[in-house]
Structure 1
Amino acid sequence: MPPVLELDHQQRPSLPDVFSSVRLTQSRGFWRRVLGFLGPGFLISVGYMDPGNWATDLAGGSRYGYTLLSVIMISNLMAILLQSLALKLGIASERDLAQACRETYSRPTAIFLWLFAEVAIGACDLAEVIGSAIALQLLFHIPLLIGVLITGTDVLLILLLQNRGFRYLEALVITLIGTIAVLFGIEIFLSRPEWLAIARNLVVPSAAIVTNPKMLYIAISILGATVMPHNLYLHSSIVQTRDYKRTSEGKREAIRFANIDSATALMLALFVNAAILVLAAAVFHKGGHFEVAEIGDAYKLLTPMLGFTGASTMFALALLASGQNSTITGTLAGQVVMEGFIHLRLAPWLRRLITRSLAIIPTVIVTFLYGERGTANLLILSQVILSMQLSFAVFPLVALTSDRKRMGEFVNHIWLKYLSYAVALLIAGLNLWLLIQIFRGR
């Protein structure tokens, strides 16, 4: 394939190389049908447990204990709702979010939305670069700058898996997610957290989250790290990899099973995110270490504070798995938004090279000038940037799925339409409040 290809974009399917490429069983058995649709939700859930989440969850847990668990829960519920809309758009209209925006809005608006989507992908990739480099440093004592450069070679793994088939890509992702979940499950057991405090803070938000500007900053960064805008574009695309019947009945079944896949995967992501914050609260906050926002510090403190040899290594291995996992979805999302918005198709290796270069350059500069502390601050900032981009993906998504002309019988019910707009307005309002607090210097 040449590096750059102009698309015959009229009704061209999303990610045409893998469109409708995953065969489904003809069995009527419920669980066998579910297994056929299992995969896209887990690719999406990767973005909800990437290294950016680690920085925000560690900062939140070490500074404020279990208080911000409610933010993780609310963010996850928002993610389930928005990803449900994204997959429904892809299946019902057979267009991904980028394609639908291009076909609905004026060219200047489409270009505007594309640029914001690219910023979101860049911010996400920034977190992956930093997280993977830190993991390599912790595990193999590779200098941070060299680790940042090594992360650029992961494109070879992505290309190999894409060539073998989409199911191989999904299998690797699910394996890595399982690894992360098991490792954190062990560490949570060892940390002996306060289960009653966890339960209370999961369901009852604290007023201090809004009134305390520093806590609000971490809360918004958790929101940005959890509800990632570029994953809305990606989900609306990769649900179309299944070879379901493109009929009303076939689409309805596909939406049903895709929602099961998505909700299951995102609940697993909730467990991982909550586990990181709980671990930080139970070990660092309880032990009087209130400023453990840096992944390297957490690594050094875990083994002596837990009293378990290998706790730090498990933590670093989970971080490496997280960074590599997120790389895959970042590349795919980049292809979706570029092809959908501007009808330009890049070879995957070139698309990956451009995205990774844009992430590596600022990381190298910050690492060189400020060292590990600078990369920790950059991680949290990247998640705030992601949160700022959310509205530019969420409002079009809600509007498009509420458009009967586009969605037909699958259009949002009136209650779902208003609930979705309420979530979109809440996200926009929280971001505006954060900006006001930042400009006030508080």
Structure 2
Amino acid sequence: MPTNILHDISDWRGRAGASGIPSICTAHPQVLVAAMRATAPTGLPLLIEATCNQVNQDGGYTGMTPADYRDFAFALADKEGFPRERLILGGDHLGPNPWKALPAQEAMAKAEVMIAAFAAAGFTKLHLDCSMGCKGEPVALDDKETAVRAARLAEVAEANLPGGDFPAPVYIIGTEVPIPGGAMEEIGELELTTPAAAKTTHAVTKAAFLERGLGDAFSRVVGLVVQPGVEYGNHNVVDYVSAKAQDLSAALSDMPGIVFEAHSTDYQTRDNLRALVRDGFAILKVGPGLTFRWRESLYGLDLIAEELFPGKRDKTLRETMEEVMLAAPANWDRYYEGDDTERAMMRHFSYSDRIRYYWPVAEARAGEKALFDLLAGVEIPEPLIGAYLGARYEDVRAGRLAPKAEDLALAAVEDLMQDYIFASRD
């Protein structure tokens, strides 16, 4: 059986090449293309992940099952010439979260079907997250019950591995708040995971695995999700402070073979990202930050299109997205507070980027296509790039970037990817 690329990630620090890895948590095709283009010249592996809400046996909000997502990712990689052997597929927050309104027995049965599908489809990094309570239970479960449920899912995953060219999966354990989907309010000072809590999670999960005879599977637990003091709300970002995380980082010495996985690293500075990796937070999750960049670029192109071709479309892309979001408010309504003006602003510009849930909608895809069709073949004047896509202006002026709509949009995402690549290499 092939060796999993991530099997020795705890040994990456201090040797040439990668010392950590970004985890690209999205199903947006252009964002994935940009991630592949940024990563390809480096020789590094590319880890892309789907959450339990994006992709599951019921389709998630993307409409894709795990096998669909695998085929979708491989097709993009093949088209881009990105080697499949450098592509790692991950499943994030795999547990009962999509069905937590059901009683625990029913929700866990659904979660078992889901993780079986992820395992059978060849996903080789599986985050087990059973921390959330189901109907009639506390909002968050205690460590022991969380571990027992995680081990139950690991047993199902192990029974459904595809074999062949797919290596056995590595597992990530532990969780953090907020749950998948992001924070619902402005974030203040964060409480970091304590070293004792991290070690307790590791110990009780190991015991639960061994109780089920899953010693080999636990030997492939390589990461633990913790809160290192990074998060973002609708309007603000809480920056990483290395000095505050040193005690937590030191706890890794008591857990051989383990690295920490940091969620919500979106919008951290390049230097903060590098400090996270150096402090042992070797897996950097990013998702909304990338789709935020994509939306930012599309809205700039939207304004450019109106400058160049006023009135040529029935509605702008922003007007289309507003209609799409208002027609189906479930993915943003309870997350955005304030008056109508404030909520309208957040629908389009919040750091939580809940607009990302709507790009797969047919009307949104059509609006995006209409924008790119209108600008197809157009060399966008430099002054308009400066006015509406200012961060791309210098690269265009220097001849490093073509003044074409798709190139400009992809370059914005690639630019952010470079921060994560920089952070992940010694």
TM-score where L is the length of structure 1: 0.25
Structure with more helix by fraction: 1
Higher RCO (C-alpha 8 Å, min separation 6): 1
TM-score where L is the length of structure 2: 0.25
Structure with more strand by fraction: 2
